[in-house]
Amino acid sequence: MRLLPGRAGALMQSPPRTDLWRQAGRPWSVPGICRGRAARLAAALGVVALGLVTPAWSGEYLVRSYTRAQGLPSATVRSLDQCPDGQVWIGTPGGLARHDGASWKPIGSPDPLPWSDYMYVRCLADGQVVALAPHARATLAVFDGRTWTFHDGPEMLAWAVLYSVPGLAATLVDGRPQVLVAAGADGAYLWDGQWQHLDAAAGLPGHEVRGVVAVAGTFWIATEGGLARLDRNGLDTSVNLLIPPQARELRGIALGPRAATAPPDLWLAGVSRVDRLRGGVWSPLAPLPGPLAKQAGTIRLAAAGDGAMMAGAGLALFRVEPMTGASERLDLLSGLVSLGANDLLCDREGLVWIAGDRGLSRLLSRRFATYRSRHGLLESEVSAVAEVSPGVVTTPASRCWPARGSGRFRSHRWRASQRPASASWTLSPTGVAASGSPPATGAWGI
C-alpha cells in the first residue's frame, strides 16, 4: 500500500510497490503533502486500514523525479535512452550518467571523458552506446562496453548542433554502428566510420530536418517537406506517395508501439495533428493539443505502455488518447519536475521518462484512489502519514472518528469517558483493538 499527496493535499492510495517510501512504524516524508499549512498538525493520530474499502480509482499520477540531489550530473537533461541490459542513460551539459535501477552512476569517473558536455545519447541493440558533445569539435563518442572511441565531426556540424539537436538516432548495419544527427536547417549528418552531409541537394525532401529514428538498420528522417528513408541502398523518398500532400510538413517522428514490424510503425507529428504510417498505410492518429500546435520547433513523441501517446516540446507536455483524441496536460501540478520535454522514453515496463530543463521525471502509475473529507476524512488536507503495521496507517486528526458502516462512513464524536486509551490502533473488519496512551481528541479510520 502507498499513500501519496493529492493536488489539494488529500490522502491518496495507489497499487502496491515495494520500492518507494515504505517505512513501517515511522512517519513517511512526502514533500508537498501539507500544501503550505504544515504547522496545523492535529494533536492526535488516528488509524486507516484502506484495504477495507474499494476506492474509486482516478487519473492522478505517481511521479518519481530526479535532480542533482539524486545524482544527476546536471539538472538539465537533454536526451535519454534505455540499453538492452535495462539501464537508462542520460545526456546532460554536465556529462553522461546511467541508472542501474537503484541509483545514478556518472560516466567518466575516475577516468574522465575528453569533454563533459555529452548531451545527446543513444543505445544500440548490442549494448553499445553513442553520445554526441555539441562543442567546437562535435565529438561523437562510441562505447563498446569496455572502452570509448572518439570521432570529431565536421566544422559545419559543430555549428549546427551548438544550441540544439532535433534528433539523434543510431543503428547497427552489418554489426557496426551507424549514427544519424538531425541538424535542423543544416540537414543531417551520417556517421558510418566517416561523416557524410545530407540535405535537399543530396535528396532529402526538405531543407530542415526535424527528427530522426532508427530501426533494424534503417533511418527514417522527418523534414518540413516530407519523410525520407535511409538504408544501405541510399535515400528513398517514395514513401511520401503514401502521405497526403497537406500532411507532409513534419515537426517530429517517433516509433509507435509496433516498431518491430516491417515496415515499422511510425508516428509523424505534423502542423496540427499526429499521423500514423504502419504497414505501408497512412492514417490520422490524433490532433495535436493547441499549445503544442502553436509552439515552434521539434515535437517529441513517445508511445506509453497503456497505448496513450505522449507529445511534448520545450514548454508543454500532453498525454493524448489516440482513440478519442482527448488530451491531458502534464505540468508541475501533475508532479513533474519541469515544464515540457527535451526528450521522451517509454521503457521496457511501459513507464514514461521525461527529460526536462530542471531534471528528469518518470511516470510510475496513474491509478490512484483519492480520499477527501467527502469520503470520511476529517479534513481534505493531510499533513502526515505513518504505517504502524502492514496495511495499517495513521494520520493526524483532531475532531472525531469516522467509521464505516453499510458501505458508508459515519462520524462519531468522542465523549471524555469514551476516549480509547490508545495512540496505537489495529483495525479489522470486526472491530478496533488499541493500546497505549489516550489521544488528545480523536482519530479517523475506515
SS3 label, residue 246: helix
- CA dist 379 and 381 (Å) reads 5
**Sheet with 316-320: strands ordered across:** 300-303, 309-313, 316-320, 327-329
- CA dist 205 and 259 (Å) reads 23
Element housing 290 (H / E): helix 290-294
Strand partners, 211: 222
In the chain, the amino acid numbered 236 is D
Strand partners, 99: 88, 104
Ordered by where they begin, the domains of the chain are 2-56+372-435 (no CATH), 62-365 (2.130.10.10)
In the chain, the amino acid numbered 422 is S
From residue 130, how far is each of 46, 108, 126, 220 by CA, in Å? 54, 14, 12, 18
From first to last of its 446 residues, the chain has per-residue pLDDT tens of 334 444 344 444 444 433 333 333 333 333 333 333 333 333 333 433 333 333 333 456 788 999 999 989 899 999 999 999 999 999 998 889 999 888 899 887 556 677 778 889 999 999 999 999 887 677 899 998 888 899 988 888 887 777 778 889 999 998 899 999 999 889 999 999 999 999 999 999 999 999 999 998 999 999 999 999 999 999 999 999 999 999 999 999 999 887 666 678 899 999 999 999 988 899 999 999 988 888 878 899 998 888 889 999 988 999 998 888 889 999 988 889 998 899 999 998 889 999 999 999 998 866 555 566 766 666 777 777 666 666 566 666 554 444 333 344 344 444 444 444 433 333 333 333 333 333 333 333 33
Strand partners, 34: none
Q: Which residues of 120-144 are buried (b: 16+ CB within 10 A; e: fewer)?
A: bbbbbeeebbbbbbbbebbbbbbbe
